[in-house]
Amino acid sequence: MSWPPESPSGLIGAEIAGYRVERELGRGGMAVVYRAKDLRLGRTVALKLLAPEYTRNEAFRSRFAQESRVAAAIDHPNIVPVFEAGEADGILYIAMCLVCGLDLRALLDREGPLPVPAALRIAAQLASALDAAHARELVHRDVKPGNVLVGKGVDSDHPEHVYLTDFGLAKKSLSLTGFTSAGEFVGTLDYVAPERVAGRPVDGRSDQYSLACVVHETLAGTPPFRRADHLELLWAHQYDPPPVLSAERPDVPGDADEVLHRALAKIPEDRYDTCLEFVAALRGAVGGAAPRGRTPAPQPPDWAGPVLRPAF
């Protein structure tokens, strides 16, 4: 099997590890994701194929197998299920649930800042997913709007159902095996925690920092740190104080600034112990932003339509 496939149709119709490839959904530097049919169970999945150079690295393969088992064992309503992971024809693969919905990046680009209640609902679901992963010592490492799928919820009291995708299985393996080249950074700079920039050890509080950046963007329309140059952005994450959200979003009480500033602390020990603790504090600070019974019941948003998206 040649890699990468020369065209999006290069593997269409091929059978890989019991999955028949139907069409390409997306590609990046280290993987291509396809819509595929599980020939054993008859379900449609997102099939992520990693480039063969990773398969040839024994340390990477070992870490990948271990982390795949951990991710597959996490049963949480806000985490995209991993069905299977393994190796076939010299290619590492991950089979995941194919989720319907828009990603949060597309939603923010389309709608701009979200209403406070919607932003809090999304934050709470993401926090719950992250804490569940952290309880199994799995750190996401790339929490960003593009890795958050927002679909229709079950009723008007829960208009959105959020899925966190791309649990960085390969990202962690790369960082722990030394497979990345010197100076290469795995992640998204707008949401990266200071300790990752400095190359220090990370844990769930690193994801909390990234979550706080995402929450800030859902409320303000932009991430907390905006710089024209990548180096300036990395410096800001490490040393610059975060902006005052209430100055950009007048309907957010000033007490919320203190909560966000703590979650965005430069030192992990200064942040909240868990992501849910952070969101609970933010909800308490916002207080009556949407008093129960004073506003009409929210309707399922029209942006949460049935758009098939791969679980990257």
Domains of the chain by residue range = 15-99, 100-308
Given a contact cutoff of 8 angstroms between Cβ atoms, the answer to whether 92 and 55 are in contact is yes
The DSSP secondary-structure symbol of 56 reads T
Candidate ranges 103-117, 174-188, 297-311; pick with highest mean pLDDT: 103-117
Q: What is the pLDDT of residues 142-166, one digit of tens each?
A: 899 998 999 888 888 789 999 998 7
Residues with catalytic function: 142
Average pLDDT of 293-302?
41
**How many other CB atoms sit within 10 Å of the CB of residue 198?**
11
Residues 6+ apart with CB under 8 A from 258: 285
Assess whether pLDDT exceeds 70 at residue 42: yes
Helix (H) or strand (E) holding 74: none
Q: Residue 122: phi, psi to the nearest 5?
A: -65, -45
Average pLDDT of 190-210?
95
Q: Which of 31-40, 126-135, 184-193 has the lowest mean pLDDT?
A: 184-193
Strands (E), the chain: 15-16, 19-27, 31-38, 44-50, 82-88, 91-97, 99-100, 102-103, 148-155, 158-164, 308-309
The whole-angstrom separation of Cα 159 and Cα 173 is 36
Assess whether pLDDT exceeds 60 at residue 181: no
Candidate ranges 32-46, 55-69, 144-158, 291-305; pick with highest mean pLDDT: 32-46
The whole-angstrom separation of Cα 190 and Cα 264 is 13
The whole-angstrom separation of Cα 209 and Cα 35 is 32
Q: What is the pLDDT of residues 233-287, one digit of tens each?
A: 999 999 999 999 999 999 999 999 999 999 999 999 999 999 999 999 999 999 8
Candidate ranges 54-63, 74-83, 182-191; pick with highest mean pLDDT: 74-83
What confidence score (pLDDT) does residue 101 get?
A: 77
Any idea which fold 100-308 has? Transferase(Phosphotransferase); domain 1 (1.10.510)
The whole-angstrom separation of Cα 62 and Cα 67 is 9
Q: Which of 110-124, 130-144, 177-191 has the lowest mean pLDDT?
A: 177-191
Candidate ranges 86-100, 187-201, 202-216; pick with highest mean pLDDT: 202-216
On the CB side of 175, how many CA atoms lie within 13 Å of its CA? 18
Given a contact cutoff of 8 angstroms between Cβ atoms, the answer to whether 271 and 260 are in contact is no
Q: Which of 3-7, 110-114, 193-197 has the lowest mean pLDDT?
A: 3-7
The encoded tokens of residue 104 equal 């949060």
The DSSP secondary-structure symbol of 299 reads P
What confidence score (pLDDT) does residue 292 get?
A: 36
What confidence score (pLDDT) does residue 61 get?
A: 76
What confidence score (pLDDT) does residue 25 get?
A: 86
What confidence score (pLDDT) does residue 56 get?
A: 75
Q: 116-135 vs 275-286: helix axis angle to the nearest 10?
A: 160
- Given pLDDT bands bounded at 50, 70 and 90, which one contains residue 187? low
In percent, the amount of the chain with pLDDT more than 90 equals 56
The whole-angstrom separation of Cα 243 and Cα 228 is 16
What confidence score (pLDDT) does residue 28 get?
A: 66
Average pLDDT of 182-192?
66
Higher local confidence (pLDDT), 21 or 73: 21
Higher local confidence (pLDDT), 87 or 64: 87
Strands 44-50, 31-38: pairing is: antiparallel
- Given pLDDT bands bounded at 50, 70 and 90, which one contains residue 27? confident
User: Residue 162: beta bridge partners?
Assistant: 150
- Given pLDDT bands bounded at 50, 70 and 90, which one contains residue 102? confident
What confidence score (pLDDT) does residue 99 get?
A: 85
Any idea which fold 15-99 has? Phosphorylase Kinase; domain 1 (3.30.200)
Query: Tokens 């992520």 appear where?
Result: 48
Rg (CA), the chain: 20
Given a contact cutoff of 8 angstroms between Cβ atoms, the answer to whether 123 and 279 are in contact is yes
Assess whether pLDDT exceeds 90 at residue 90: no
- Computed over every residue of the chain, the mean pLDDT equals 83
